[in-house]
Amino acid sequence: MTRQVSDEILNKTKCPFSFKCLDEENIDICEVDICLQGNTCFLKRKIKNGCLYERSFGSSYLCVCPTRAELYKRCRI
């Protein structure tokens, strides 16, 4: 089973992990604390997989992945 996001969002995302976050059986996805307007989400902790969408912001970490932001907004995951 897969989680759903729009084709428009998928086309905006250049995912080096083949969209593993869309697999409902995958529980190992970055934990979002809160999402802001657009694609910017604050993460609960640093990702250790070298994702190109992760950004350092002081002592916090951001995710700017369009697909991850859409998952959070639609499903609260």
Tens-place pLDDT, residues 15-71 = 999 999 999 888 788 899 999 888 899 999 988 788 899 999 999 999 999 999 999
Q: State residue 7's pLDDT score.
A: 95
Which residues, including other chains, have CB under 8 Å from residue 18's CB and lie 6 or more apart?
none
Q: Is 69 helix (H, G, I), strand (E, B) or coil?
A: helix
Range of the domain at 19: 7-75
Question: Does any domain span residue 2?
Answer: no
Q: Please report the pLDDT score of residue 68 as a whole number.
A: 94
Give the per-residue pLDDT at 1. Answer: 56
Domain assignment present for 24: yes
Residue 41 domain flag:
yes
Q: Identify whether 70 is part of a domain.
A: yes
Our count of domains for the chain comes to 1
Residue 1 lies in a domain: no
Predicted confidence at residue 34, as pLDDT, reads 93
Predicted structure pTM score: 0.87
Is residue 48 assigned to a domain? Answer: yes
Number of neighbouring beta carbons within 10 Å of residue 45: 10
**Residue 67's CB: how many other CB atoms inside 10 A?**
21
